[in-house]
Amino acid sequence: MSTSYAVPATEISSVAINGTDDRFPVRRIFCIGRNYADHAKEMGQEVDRETPFFFTKPADAIIPSGTTIPYPKGTKNFHHEIEFVIAIGSEASDVSTDHAKDSVFGYGVGIDLTRRDLQLAAREKGRPWDAGKAFDQSALMGSIYPVASVGHPTDARIWLSINREMKQDGNISNLIWRVEELIAFMSSLYVLKAGDLIYTGTPAGVSPMVSGDAIAGGIEGLGELELQIA
Ligand code: MN
């Protein structure tokens, strides 16, 4: 017997998979902070090699490439963070770095959309970052490229432009915490499961977006994405 809900149930968020009509169902979104030295520096922060840190976004924050979004509520400083994204395909709990990549379904490119003014106000007061990071339509995601087709990329250009002007231009080889280290770490705190996404942090060059901007970005070998601010 199917469950009867008193109010409309939210649909499962999902992401396109390159090369198939099947979709990747999104369960949770983890986002790693300060994972490129040049971005940590531009944010006035030290890189902490002791432990990665992270925050989360709701699964229904996911929006696909090509979306036009309104300028978000409550901010006057709306930023882009282009990121290399890990898509988990099978359970991982207390895995070693040697076995961490066994749980990866694929990889893609995403944008961690950020209300920077709200994030920084929270940071200064030692408060949670949810208002700055975990808002509606805050996780743009391109297609996921399965490991079966692209392997485990470790050296690829990552870039983002606004109105064709390059803003972020880095390489995923500069990740401070690598894919296997991030999965091993996250799996020490959570039982990772199929559908979990890990946004791995952004290189330098984050900047504000305004109404009318056309954003493009990509990772070499993992496709491109587009976003329009209405
Ligand atoms: Mn980020």
User: Contact, 114 vs 131, CB < 8 A?
Assistant: no
pLDDT at 205: 97
119 within some domain: yes
Q: How many other C-beta atoms can be found within 10 angstroms of the C-beta atom of residue 179?
A: 21
**Residues, beta carbon < 5 Å, ion ligand 1:** 81, 112, 202
Q: What is the DSSP string of 11-37?
A: PPPEEEBTTSS-EEE--EEEEE-S-SH
16-74 pLDDT, tens digit per residue, is 999 999 999 999 999 999 999 999 899 988 887 788 999 999 999 999 999 999 999 99
Task: Give every CB contact of residue 23 below 8 A, 6+ residues apart in sequence.
Answer: 14, 15, 16, 17
5 within some domain: no
Distance from residue 82's CA to the centre of ligand 1 (Å): 7
Distance from residue 163's CA to the centre of ligand 1 (Å): 21
d(CA 15, CA 22): 9
224 within some domain: yes
With a cut of 50, list the residues of the chain below it in pLDDT: none
170 within some domain: yes
Distance from residue 215's CA to the centre of ligand 1 (Å): 16
pLDDT at 2: 84
d(CA 204, CA 174): 11
End-to-end Cα spacing for the chain: 43
Q: Is 0.85 topped by the overall pTM?
A: yes
35 within some domain: yes
User: 161: domain CATH number?
Assistant: 3.90.850.10
d(CA 25, CA 146): 14
Residue 192's domain spans which residues?
14-229
212 within some domain: yes
Residue 87, strand partner residues: 106, 197
At position 215, the amino acid (one-letter code) is I
**Number of structural domains in the chain:** 1
Distance from residue 113's CA to the centre of ligand 1 (Å): 8
Distance from residue 181's CA to the centre of ligand 1 (Å): 17
